[in-house]
Structure 1
Amino acid sequence: MITKRHKYQLPEGYSLLQCILRARAFLKDPVKWISNNMDRFGGTYTAAIGFKRKLILTQHPGFISHVLKENHKNYQKSTISTDAGATYLGNGILFSNGAFWLQQRRLIQPAFHREKLQALQFVIIKTIKESIEKCPTGNAVDIYPFVHSVSFQVLLRSIFDIPLSPDTFREITGLFGNIQEFLFTDTNQPARRLLYPFTGERRSTARKTQRLRSIIRDVIHQRKSSGESKGDLLDMLLNSTYEDTGESMGEEQIINELVVLIFAGHETTANTLCWLLYLLTSHPPVLQQLQADLIETSLPDALTNERLKATISEAMRLYPAAWMTERVTLAADSFGPYTFPAGTIIIPFFYGLHRNEQLWENASLFNPERFMHSEKTAWAGHYFPFGAGPRMCVGNHFAMAEMCFFLHAFLTTFQLQSTGHVPSMKALISLRPDKVILNIKKRVLDKAAV
């Protein structure tokens, strides 16, 4: 056990040799492995990732808040995640730090304000309605590919508001999927890098990155040459200027930000929706009550439906798309009994925080009512579905709007039934279900009620 190194008091945990011996178990099921260790070490523990460098993993709400909020200026994203991400997806706000990150955040954030998103609601709703008509029905349908496709279309149409050919859409989807798989493997299995000269994985991923950027560059050129104003996110970025210089964002940086927005935005939303459909079909009374509530309201009113928002919140509690994050200390710091040096990587484990029995009554139970009949102050300090602090997800309002509109349209169109299949968790950059297999059929409404 590691209890102390030099003048620092680190949490108990594992030495480098112990981590190496346990690496296979971690890679097989990282969420389960970390959760078991949280139980073993009381919610915070250390793991060595080098002879001198340490990770501290924690699901302690105060520690997480300290890192992401109260003392956030002493923390930034580590090069472990930013270097590879920036190499293959561009130096956008997800993979940048310091003054450059702050500059980009200030430029992009206004595009996601609630009033700006109102202009996109027509595009979001129209895309969802068109997609719902193509939803597969029948017994034992894996709904994940469909939901993933819809979420991707919503995001692309909101960014570009242009019809993409089926081939282009499939190509973009495939490129993003391949790049994400590579990034996760590269980050969590660094020894594989020794094989890249022989396997060609790095060169292949670089080519896919360039192809993706080329597609987006062509869209930007088409928009500029057309002189059209669509009111989409691309227009907002093209028309934005830096407050200190008044200059516009360069084309390559616009591409960086668009790639990051697509990368971070489509799969997280799709994963949350799929986990939610699994949870609802596994709890028929909750599903029936929500459907009865939604059938009485119009689709645009979905954003104000408290039961719907509470149901989404509960799904994000149990299956947070961002199941963990990471920060590195810029200077030595302390929290509670622990002290740790500069360069220590802190891993806030949101999945464990959201299922902590000491913080949530019947924590493992799917119960949307907990978000309907309590003040926000009762859970705000230990609920971070979109992260927390200055780096909180810039697209949180967009994601909530998309999920509300999709669920209203989907649940009022189809009758769902569980098949008994329990999805396996694929803990990649976001928490993905391997499959969500449901029985789906069109709803038959009482004509007298229509």
Structure 2
Amino acid sequence: MSTDTVRARATDEVAERRREQHGWYFYDWACSVYSTSVLTVFLGPYLTSVAKHAADADGFVHPLGIPIRAGSFFAYSVSASVILSIFVMPMAGAAGDRTGRKKPLLAASAYLGAAATTGMFFLDGDRYLLGGLLLVVANASVAVSMVLYNSYLPQIAPPEERDAVSSRGWAFGYAAGSLVLIGNLVLFTAHDSFGVSESTAVRICLASAGIWWGAFTLVPLKRLRDRRTAPGGGRAPAHGWRQLAATVRDMRGKPLTLSFLLAYLVYNDGIQTVISQASVYGSEELGLSQSTLIVAVLLVQVLAVGGALGMGRLARTYGAKRTILGSLVAWTVTLAAGYFLPAGAPVWFFVLAAGIGLVLGGSQALSRSLFSHLVPSGKEAEYFSAYEMSDRGMSWLGPLLFGLTYQLTGSYRDAIISLVAFFVIGFALLARVPVRQAIRDAGNPVPDRI
């Protein structure tokens, strides 16, 4: 084979890899709008108001006959959704690896979630149970889809590119969130000019996130390639807990990978709870308007784009692990400051939002890329199902603690300060993980800077 032929083939491989990477970015672009507009901005305050409308004289709703303070219903629904994810994600990950057909599974989970999100248009009056059900379906669906989406990363990016590729994916997601939030802000603040009520405007914003999610999912479905890298072809995947147990047994041979997952489980639980509960804290405890919350989250999205890319560059100099540890210090300081925010002072809430935005995207992107180095070849989706458990499927403790704290104390300030522990403990656990040895144990090449 001539040198020109080898060079041409290498050029074609690089072009194909770039094409897949660009398609891969677009799933972040598609589904991040759900996390931003639905989970972070609108659904928490709106579902809480619907639950309060359905509450009895003492402020309690009674799903399945269980007395729940209306202000805790959203947090409990988030916990229920991620508990459900535990049963579904391992099956999806194992099926993706064994059959090599990740795209059909990605499509099914993405469009189920998009349909549930679009259905939130019908959440009005006292239909808090409908809202809780749609939230559970949408949140579990996005978790399953992210298992499959994340598992492509080791396949479409060589080790030296993963920090950058992962960071660009998160940046795409935050850019999409910013764009849609601008449209949401225009509709919400000028809803009278559009001839709709405030409630209808919120429901349109919720439903539009589902339409956006479904429409842009077409791009990665067209560009990503299915690969079968694991033996065992058509075997049916085990059921939820059994498959998770099998994955964990396999990981026992790689205890350092498990150590990283434990650290990530802890600190990411704090991150996910802040994302899902920040708007409830701002509206219920600080008395901020919905427009203020939209602007604050928009600020988070804009700064998160630069934060993800900037922390990706820092990782090239200082390594992903050190950069993540630095972000956890920033999270701790920012969240502790949130406890002391005065009510009715949007400027200070914007300062808090800026601090969150600068570390949010980078801490998530670098955690994803760092874990990709710890995954044995051929088990990407299966291992990323365990990772997604830590990312979403096991992030039920934070919302549960948040909801219980409010249930017992009636104070969202007490609820928010309890989350500091997740970042402190997560920092201590991650600092103990020797990542170079963990990469070698997984059978992967160790990058020069990690």
| Higher percent of residues as helix | 2
Q: Which has the higher strand share?
A: 1
Q: Which has the larger radius of gyration?
A: 1
Asked which structure has the greater RCO (Cα within 8 Å, sep 6+), the reply is: 2
